[in-house]
Amino acid sequence: MSFAVALHLTCTAAALVIGSIVLLRTKGNQCHRLLGRLWATLMAGAALSSLWIPSFLKFGWIHLFVIVVSACIPKGIMEIRRGRVQSHRRWMVGTFIGLIGAGLGTLAPGRLIGDALRVALGWR
């Protein structure tokens, strides 16, 4: 496994866990802000690391998430800095749902994670 793939998987798995915690906990306190910053950093790391994955050169629908994350995370941050809590929530929750969607997309045949999972489960 290449460094880019390992970094990407680490960032996405951690973003899924941290993002779930952020969504389930009380909003607006110091813990929420700290975990939110960590989540945004992990999402940026996931998006950027995917640019160095060799299969990225075979552009597919799943790679649109790089563009989406690159736009949505800064927009969500700008919204909360402007005091627009509802808009901030929509941008961040939407990005989290996109993370889940991209994760489910990796389970498709021909994708690294999906193929590895099928082999591990003996379905191939």
Question: Using one digit for the tens of pLDDT, what is the confidence trace for 47-74?
Answer: 988 888 776 666 777 778 888 899 999 9
At 51 the pLDDT is 83
**Reduced to 3 states, what is the DSSP secondary structure of residue 44?**
helix
Domain that holds residue 106: 3-120
Residue 40 CA: distances (Å) to CA of 2, 15, 68: 23, 8, 13
At 110 the pLDDT is 81
Each residue's pLDDT tens digit, 18-30:
999 999 999 999 9
Rg of the chain over CA atoms, in angstroms? Answer: 15
At 116 the pLDDT is 83
- The identity of residue 36, as a single letter, is G
**Reduced to 3 states, what is the DSSP secondary structure of residue 41?**
helix
Say how many domains are in the chain.
Answer: 1
Q: What is the pTM of this model?
A: 0.86
